[in-house]
Amino acid sequence: MITQCPIQPNTTFTYKFHVDGQEGTLWWHAHVSLLRATLHGIIIIRPKSGSYPFQKPDMEVPIVIGEWWQMDLMKVDKDFANGGVSDDPAADATGDTRGDNPASATINGKLGDLNNCSGVAEDNFVMTVEHGKTYMLRLVNAALFSEYYFKVAGHKFTVVGADANYIRPYTTDVVAVAPGETFDILMVADAPPCRYYMVAKANQPPLPDPQIPEFISNGIVQYKNTPSNADNCRPEPLMPKMPDQHDTLASFYFHGNLSGLPGHPLLTQIKGHVNEHLLISLGKGTICKGNKPSCKRGGSNESIEVAYMNNVSFRYPEKMSLLEARQYGNMNGAYMVLQDLPSRPPRSFNFTDPMLIPVVPGGELERLEPSRKATTVRRFAHNATVEVVFQSTATMQSDSNPMHLHGHDFFVLAQGHGNYDPVRDVRRYNLVDPLLKNTVQVPRLGWAAIRFVADNPGAWFLHCHFEFHIAMGMSTITLSLSLHFSSPSAASLCTASFVGDNEEVERS
């Protein structure tokens, strides 16, 4: 309900857009409830000139990490919106008492033979390779809930692209990919011609954070014309040594070692005067049930959990999209009331104190309340240079946060652990060859700093790409309109059938 209302059943809608300066891998997905679990796909943008800034691979292979659900995802979404706890734990096939987790992970829709959801070993995605050839893996994390570590036993990777932007080639044997991220990876088939497991394994914070089952999927890299009984091959595929499920540092160092290519035309502007500075804390809190002005917080039955930015949990517009409201003059009237997102948290404290994770009635967390619910927006002048520092917190949990901005790419200037220090940490900013992305993985109990130029007029969603966080309100709207901006045709998709109460939306 930001740039458009949903496309109605049995109808079609055609998107037209310009590709400007991007080359590599993107993806599309639904943005209603949790439908993107299966409603998604890859967008591949090849060089106009036909040449890459590296040796052209012999073949390209899309690799999509996803999840296998055995639950009603519309219900899961409502559960999270109402506090994050399912009222039907028995519905979860994994046995998790929260009842809000997938059954397993997938690679290109296959569970892999390490899973046995049906009582027998499941099918593998099989990638057949020829010795000596180079393959580009177009890796996408389309999962709802988890960042994944991705490895192929016996092989090295060279990461050459991220979010449809080229990067300085980086060699590694493991890739950490958060929901919403894409990576272009070169892999040379230079191992002894046998069979090798390709593995995607979810990571999560350690205790005292709430724990979920370990999600893992596997495929197989198989060399062409290799007999199953080859003398130098094991009977079963070789398994890679994966990072521990609770090892979040591997992700921190992977993302921190990436850099972009120098010479981007916007680099000069972002090095200069910054028009807007925002410090956005990311965490969880509570609000009173039934819109009551006061209640017992911190895990009582009078409140529900929410996710927030600067202690404000996002309330989605219900009658019409933001762009349609603007088109018909209702941007701050009968159909929605907008509030400005604060430029910094309402109070300063030790954001990354692990003692905040357990919810203790009467504890420190209650003092840091209240959170509140509102439809927030942050307005930027057209072509303004904006700096945002995302600060992960330990309020009720210590997750990392993959933050995604619609409508723009941004430069990732730095990341770090602990509380952001504007005097100390600005010295760490990379203003020479920063990574250009549309999703940044804000580390667990840490921060990440980005800059972008608000040069694409529109109402753009800024949100965490963990779907439970977005359902619980970790999002806002960025608004930048030029004098000549006109609402796109998507603004007219809102219909009375979506309003829910069958009221007609007045259009003057």
Instruction: For 442-469, write each residue's pLDDT tens digit.
Output: 999 999 999 999 999 988 999 999 998 9
Report the alpha-carbon distance of residue 260 to residue 440 in Å, rounded.
14
Percent of the chain exceeding pLDDT 70 equals: 82
pLDDT digits (tens, 9 = 90+) for 317-376: 776 666 666 555 555 554 567 899 999 999 888 999 888 777 666 566 666 666 888 999
Rounded CA-CA distance 170/375 in Å is 40
- Is the pLDDT reported for residue 500 higher than 50? no
pLDDT digits (tens, 9 = 90+) for 79-114: 888 876 555 544 444 444 445 788 889 999 999 988
Query: Does residue 174 surpass a pLDDT of 60?
Result: yes
Residue 296 in tokens: 């017992």
Position 49 pLDDT exceeds 90: no
Domain extents for the chain?
24-256, 267-499
Report the Cα–Cα distance between both ends of the chain, in Å, rounded.
Answer: 20
Q: Is the pLDDT of residue 227 over 50?
A: yes
Over the stretch 471-485, which tens digit does the pLDDT of each residue have? Answer: 999 999 998 876 555
**140 has which bridge partners?**
64, 182
- The β-bridge partners of 402 are 441
Pick the more confident residue, 407 or 481.
407
| pLDDT for residue 118 | 67
Summary mean pLDDT of the chain? 85
Quote the CA–CA distance of 111 and 123 in Å, as a whole number.
6
DSSP string, 311-355: TEEEPPPSSS-HHHHHHTT-TTSSS--EEEPPSS-SS---TT-GG
List of residues 6+ apart from 10 with CB closer than 8 A: none
**CATH architecture assigned to 24-256:** Sandwich (2.60)
Interval 188-208: pLDDT, tens? 999 999 999 999 999 998 888
CB 392 within 8 A of CB 417: no
Q: Which residue has the tokens 């504890």?
A: 363
Q: 267-499 architecture in CATH?
A: Sandwich (2.60)
Per the DSSP assignment, residues forming a β-bridge with 63 are 139
Instruction: Please tell me if the domain spanning 24-256 has the same topology as the one spanning 267-499.
Output: yes
- Please identify which residue in the block is written with the tokens 């890796």: 139
Asked if residues 438 and 412 have their Cβ atoms less than 8 Å apart, the reply is no
Confidence of residue 50 (pLDDT cuts 50, 70, 90): confident
CA distance 298 to 366: 6
DSSP 408-438: --EEEEEEEESS--TTTGGGG---SS-EEES
Is residue 403 predicted with pLDDT exceeding 70?
yes
Look at residue 289 in the predicted model and tell me its pLDDT: 84
pTM beyond 0.85? yes
- 242 vs 215: CA distance, rounded Å: 13
Residue 377 pLDDT greater than 80, yes or no: yes
**Residue 161: its pLDDT value, please?**
98
What's the CA gap between 38 and 106, in Å, rounded?
A: 11
Which range, of 218-222, 320-324, 408-412, 466-470, averages the lowest pLDDT?
A: 320-324
Q: Are strands 165-172 and 157-162 parallel, antiparallel or unpaired?
A: antiparallel
Question: CA-CA distance, 33 to 467, in Å (whole number)?
Answer: 9
User: Residue 182: its pLDDT value, please?
Assistant: 98
The reported pLDDT for the residue numbered 498 is 43
CA dihedral 186, 255, 151, 26 (to 10 degrees): -60
Residues 6+ apart with CB under 8 A from 301: none
413-448 pLDDT, tens digit each = 999 999 999 999 999 999 999 999 999 999 999 999
Residues of the chain with pLDDT > 90: what percent? Answer: 55
